[in-house]
Amino acid sequence: MTDLEKTQIQIGYIPLLDCVAVLWAKQRGFFAERGLEITLVKEASWASLRDRLAFGFLDAAHCLSAMLPAAALGEDQLGIPLQTALVLSHNRAFISLSQKLCFDLQISEQDHARQSAEKVVSAIQAQQSIQLAHVFKQSIHHYCLREWLALANVEIAEKIKLTTLPPPYMVEALRSHVIDGFCVGEPWNTQGELLGLSQIVASSQDVIPKVADKVLAVTADWATQHPHTHRALVAAIEKAQQELQVLDDYTEVWKMLMDFNIVQFQCSDSIHVKKFHSIQTIIRNFVNESSAPKLEDFHWLIQQMLKWDQIRLSEQSIDQISQNCILSFDP
């Protein structure tokens, strides 16, 4: 690929199931096919990933979709514009509560999202201390938690103080009684359940619309300076996404996830069978339609910022910011 502006690329990621297409593209040689030499960089938190991407230590990153409008608004305290040309996952987060809290509040697996929210809100109104966590202020996980609580009581949803923790710390924080529940992507909900610590009480799909959760993000300056490299990056990951959707045997994928320490529990077609097939289904359906980012996704994310973060914007500004978050390649 003689037209590539840069061939040695660093891609940052957080250990979550929805970075799988990036890892698989490296594993299967799809980046190499396009002349790219990729170094995968595991980051400790979304904040460190964002900062390292913004200041050029990373070329691209597995990123929270809401980070892009937050950067445009300067809500991330940096204000360095980010863009995406590729969605890595649509809302596949879950809300999990400690098994003890579920037992105490009589929350059952049969309860739908509103019922579980009503039981939690009733406990809060009765002065019970319940500490809930999400992964980052600007994330569908934050908005999902608030929207879930709002199913029962909008005032509680607005006033409750939520904790922010990196995804890999959620289960340990629950074990240590630092928090009572969390909203995070897989595999951390499954890990909590298999350790006997938590119980999934709602899916983000039960609470919020189908919007982009993670995207492949680059800075706007980087995209301008490296258009051919960017296109090659996206094409390699898209090829991985397409293969993961139709793959029959997930043995190699599962081994890769364990090698990268993303999955830290035993799960197979003979052990924890239901969870094994559930995770396989999630991977197949991270982007079960188009992986192109949509304007309405960013509209929704910004509307959530207006609703829960008390930001004021005109409709024209919302539309402009949404458009600036998306990069479309010329045919």
Instruction: Identify whether residues 170 and 305 lie together within a single domain.
Output: no
Question: What are the strands of the beta sheet with 181-185, ordered from one edge?
Answer: 163-164, 132-134, 181-185, 93-98, 198-203
Nearest-angstrom CA–CA distance, 47 and 155: 29
In this prediction, residue 276 carries a pLDDT of 84
Is the pLDDT confidence value at 331 over 70? no
- pLDDT tens track for 91-102: 889 999 999 999
In this prediction, residue 272 carries a pLDDT of 85
The DSSP secondary-structure symbol of 111 reads: -
Instruction: Identify whether residues 305 and 215 lie together within a single domain.
Output: yes
- pLDDT tens track for 147-160: 999 999 999 999 99
The residue among 174, 207, 240 that closes a domain is 207
In this prediction, residue 161 carries a pLDDT of 96
Q: Which of 123-132, 187-196, 261-270, 285-294 has the weakest average pLDDT?
A: 261-270
Instruction: Identify whether residues 77 and 216 lie together within a single domain.
Output: yes
- pLDDT tens track for 279-327: 888 999 898 778 999 999 999 999 999 999 878 888 888 999 999 999 9
- pTM for the complete prediction? 0.93
H helices present in 45-196, as ranges: 46-54, 67-73, 99-104, 113-125, 140-150, 154-159, 170-175, 188-194
Q: How many CB atoms lie within 10 A of CB 153?
A: 18
Instruction: Identify whether residues 163 and 127 lie together within a single domain.
Output: yes
For residue 2, what pLDDT band results from cuts at 50, 70 and 90?
low
- pLDDT tens track for 11-30: 999 999 999 999 999 999 99
State the total domains in the chain: 2
Q: What number of residues does the chain have?
A: 331
Question: What are the strands of the beta sheet with 60-64, ordered from one edge?
Answer: 37-42, 8-13, 60-64, 212-219, 82-90
Instruction: Identify whether residues 220 and 234 lie together within a single domain.
Output: yes
The answer to whether residue 61 sits within a structural domain is: yes
**Domain encompassing residue 291:** 8-90+211-325
Instruction: Identify whether residues 79 and 149 lie together within a single domain.
Output: no
Nearest-angstrom CA–CA distance, 272 and 284: 19
The answer to whether residue 246 sits within a structural domain is: yes
* SS3 category, 124: helix
Instruction: Identify whether residues 143 and 248 lie together within a single domain.
Output: no
The answer to whether residue 2 sits within a structural domain is: no
Instruction: Identify whether residues 76 and 217 lie together within a single domain.
Output: yes
As a whole number of Å, the CA-based R_g of the chain is 20
In this prediction, residue 77 carries a pLDDT of 66
Q: Which secondary structure element, helix H or strand E, spans residue 63, and what is its range?
A: strand 60-64
In the chain, the percentage of residues whose pLDDT exceeds 90 is 82
The answer to whether residue 331 sits within a structural domain is: no
Instruction: Identify whether residues 66 and 137 lie together within a single domain.
Output: no
In this prediction, residue 1 carries a pLDDT of 47
Q: Which amino acid is at 283?
A: I
DSSP β-bridge partners for residue 61: 12, 217
